[in-house]
Amino acid sequence: DSLEAYNYFLRGTEESAKLYHQNARRFLEKAIELDPTFASAYLELAGNYSALSMHEEAKITYEKAKTFAEKATEKERLGIESTYARVIERNPEKSFRILKQMAKKYPKEKGVHQRLAGYYNERKMYDKAIEEYNKTLELDPNYGNALNELAYTFLDVKQYERAIELLKRYATVSPGDANPFDSMGYAYFRIGRLDEAIAKFKEAIEVKPDFEVSIRCIQYVYALKQEYSEAMKWADQYIQVFKHLRKKTTGYLIKGFYYGWLGSLNKSMSELK
């Protein structure tokens, strides 16, 4: 059972890395069904619940990861404690201290350097973030998520060409994934190349028709271009694609806002009901 659980866990982490959170959720739930004390699977599942706005489920699942952490390896336990400190205890400094301890103990663990980079990024300490991402990529030059996050860091420091170059590498090492196209769309949006942004978001949606972030972004970019009928069409797509009531509500709120913005108050109120 534990070997089968581990295989489901691996598939879940792969889907999670692609930001295919519903797929990841299914595999990870199966992993813990097979092994109800699988701490790392609980941790990974909690992150996916958060991404799916399932916040209560996420909190319960983080607690289970913490409960079963003592059965995990020391490296896994420290990883769980670091995430728990950041997310549940809301103590980023404690989380950072644990990560620094892990980096010292496990210098070849790429995920630790990636998470340290994320910590520095949040604090706008971009030089340190870039240094940690480079350490991550020295350990694994084809690590797609690190290429993606480093590209976003270069966008933040306005080194747009470096960012685009990294995103092209990300696409090369992640063939068939939606997120490289989405990230490229976001980069073009940041630079102000709106038509290219739309084209990339459409490519992401072609790869995965329910890729939420691209559907949200594309309607926003159309609205920015004052092409409201297109924006409305994509808001409708958002409502159709997602079955979860919370997601559908977001779609109706977006449509209600656009109708209100365009002066159609009756239609706006109708959507907001």
State whether the Cα torsion 109-119-181-163 is positive or negative: negative
Tell me the per-residue pLDDT of 100-115, one tens digit each, with 9 for 90 and over.
999 999 999 999 999 9
For residue 269, pLDDT over 70 is answered with no
**Residue 85 and residue 158: Cα distance in Å, rounded?**
32
Enter the CATH code of domain 107-173. 1.25.40.10
Task: Indicate the SS3 state at residue 222.
Answer: helix
**Residue 200 and residue 181: Cα distance in Å, rounded?**
5
Q: How confident is the model at residue 254 (pLDDT cuts 50, 70, 90)?
A: confident
Tell me the per-residue pLDDT of 256-265, one tens digit each, with 9 for 90 and over.
677 676 766 6
- Give the pLDDT mean for 232-254: 78
Q: Are 185 and 148 in contact (CB under 8 A)?
A: no
At position 244, the amino acid (one-letter code) is H
**Residue intervals in the chain for CATH 1.25.40.10:** 1-102, 107-173
Q: Of 45-54, 81-90, 119-128, 256-265, where does mean pLDDT reach its minimum?
A: 256-265
Sequence-separated contacts (24+) of 91-100 with Cβ below 8 Å:
92/119, 92/122, 95/119
Helix 39-51 and helix 55-68, axial crossing angle in degrees, nearest 10: 160
For residue 119, pLDDT over 80 is answered with yes
Q: Of 127-131, 200-204, 253-257, where does mean pLDDT reach its minimum?
A: 253-257
* pTM tops 0.85: yes
Please report the pLDDT score of residue 238 as a whole number. 84
Enter the CATH code of domain 1-102. 1.25.40.10
More confident call, 53 vs 158: 158
CA dihedral 209, 211, 212, 214 (to 10 degrees): -100
- Give the pLDDT mean for 122-129: 98
Q: How confident is the model at residue 249 (pLDDT cuts 50, 70, 90)?
A: confident
Count other Cβ atoms within 10 Å, centred on residue 142: 12
**C-alpha 1: how far from its chain's center?**
30
For residue 266, pLDDT over 70 is answered with no
At position 90, the amino acid (one-letter code) is R
More confident call, 2 vs 106: 106
The tally of CA atoms less than 13 A away on the side-chain side of residue 60 is 5
Please report the pLDDT score of residue 261 as a whole number. 66
More confident call, 247 vs 219: 219
Which tokens is 73 given?
Answer: 């390896």
Strands annotated E in the chain: none
Please report the pLDDT score of residue 241 as a whole number. 85
Please report the pLDDT score of residue 169 as a whole number. 98
Distances (CA, A) of 203 to 185, 187, 197: 9, 14, 10
- Give the pLDDT mean for 204-228: 94
Distances (CA, A) of 218 to 116, 135, 180, 200, 203: 31, 34, 15, 9, 11
Please report the pLDDT score of residue 81 as a whole number. 99
Give the rounded percent of residues in the chain with a pLDDT score beyond 70.
91
Task: Indicate the SS3 state at residue 184.
Answer: helix
Which tokens is 43 given?
Answer: 């941790």
Helix 194-207 and helix 179-191, axial crossing angle in degrees, nearest 10: 170
Short-list 134, 135, 184, 117, CA closest to 155 = 184
Contacts for 133 with CB less than 8 Å, ≥ 6 apart: 113, 114, 117, 146, 149, 150, 153
